[in-house]
Amino acid sequence: MHRLLPALAIASLLPATAPAQTLLSGNHSISGGVCIGPSCGTGELFASTLKLKGNSVRLFFEDISTSPGFPTNDWVLEANASSGTGDYFALRDADTFQTIMRLDAGAPWYSLYVSSDGDVGMGTSLPLANLHVLDTDGTASLRLEGTTGTPYSWDLRGNQGGFYVYDIGAGTLPLRINAGAPSSSFAIGSDGNVGIGTNSPDAPLEVSDNETFSYFRITAENASVNQSVDITFTEGPLGTGEMRYNIVDGDGPEMRLNANGDMVLDGTLTTGGPTCDTGCDAVFDAGFPRLSVTDHAALMWENGHLPAVGPTLPGAPMNVSEKMGAMLNELEHAHIYIEQLHQRIAAQEAETAELRALVRDIAARR
């Protein structure tokens, strides 16, 4: 109730001096205009049926309910400030003295408009949505501001160029949708999947295009050379699907991978290297346990594969790095065995030459 208001608040709602009062009871009808207020006089001109006239016009609604649970709040319709400046029309909560609604004088046409179907227009008398905001300067905006903690503000803006989310504090546009963007340019499914070009993405991120190929580009604008790379999926020359990796530098893709698992690289392939469990170059180390040629051959024929390389079965996955290291180990074994055989052959040839010389010497003495 208004009796709870501070004394100054109550004083602003009531006239400075209470005039003599006349109490009328019963029902009364007045045919014609009525002027109420300390400034009313004879010869009033009525543009409306009821006129409230004075230098601080207020219409006070006092609820005198006393029954438990019944509403008791008091309200005031207020026209202009009682002192100083402030031309406005306001609705004030008389119990808290808070201004709930205020309309400033000079506001443009249809600053607030509610149509017969309940649509609300701001700046328009023809609202075409539940809330229709129109700005004749070209950009309509809706500001979202939080004042708890560190105050911060965001704008939702729209104009002939597009729709924007504007960060007031940073002065940036973190989200922008250009006018004319096609349907499903960006969509988030009910499961959280994100679609670009599709409104029903089947993966956490799906890029779709109504063509025989689709791709996305990764760009580093400050890179000194070749700022972008394209990851492309296309039907490919076989018509079964092919993924391509292409540095955007004017030539073809650097890598192609088809549905059969065939990969084509335009450059070299460098792997992380083998673990060298088979020894790799350690075969040359002193004390390395090398098998003899005979034992090595026996294992090879017994198992049906080179001992260090291991089996290589049709259609079975193969670790290229480990396989290459093992093949190097076997190649080095082979070269050691070749060297050993070469030394043995050289020794045999020397013995043969000595025997031939001895035979010639014997023959010459006869």
Q: Provide the pLDDT for residue 85.
A: 80
Residues 249 and 198 in one domain: yes
Residues 239 and 300 in one domain: no
Sign, CA torsion 109/111/114/118: positive
Residues 225 and 308 in one domain: no
Q: Which of 206, 237, 265 is the last residue of a domain?
A: 265
Q: What are phi and psi of 205, to 5 degrees?
A: -140, 120
What percent of the chain shows pLDDT beyond 70?
95
For residue 54, being part of any structural domain is answered with: yes
Q: Which of 230, 265, 300 is the last residue of a domain?
A: 265
For residue 79, being part of any structural domain is answered with: yes
Q: Tell me which residue range forms the domain holding 87.
A: 1-14+35-107
Residues 224 and 295 in one domain: no
pLDDT digits (tens, 9 = 90+) for 98-146: 999 999 999 999 999 999 999 999 999 999 999 999 999 999 999 999 9
Residues 1 and 76 in one domain: yes
Residues 4 and 77 in one domain: yes
Residues 39 and 73 in one domain: yes
For residue 132, being part of any structural domain is answered with: no
Residues 237 and 324 in one domain: no
Residues 251 and 307 in one domain: no
For residue 39, being part of any structural domain is answered with: yes
Q: List the beta strands (DSSP E) in 20-150.
A: 34-36, 50-52, 57-61, 75-79, 88-93, 98-104, 113-114, 120-122, 131-133, 140-146
For residue 349, being part of any structural domain is answered with: yes
* Whether pLDDT at 13 is above 60: no
Predicted TM-score (pTM) of this structure = 0.72
**Higher-confidence position of 14 and 19:** 19
The total domain count for the chain is 3
Sheet holding 113-114, edge to edge: 113-114, 120-122, 131-133
Residues 259 and 294 in one domain: no
* Whether pLDDT at 260 is above 70: yes
Q: Which of 85, 107, 129 is the last residue of a domain?
A: 107
Q: Provide the pLDDT for residue 16.
A: 52
**Higher-confidence position of 322 and 11:** 322
For residue 24, being part of any structural domain is answered with: no
What percent of the chain shows pLDDT beyond 90?
84
- Widest Cα–Cα separation across the chain: 175
For residue 99, being part of any structural domain is answered with: yes
For residue 5, being part of any structural domain is answered with: yes
Residues 248 and 303 in one domain: no
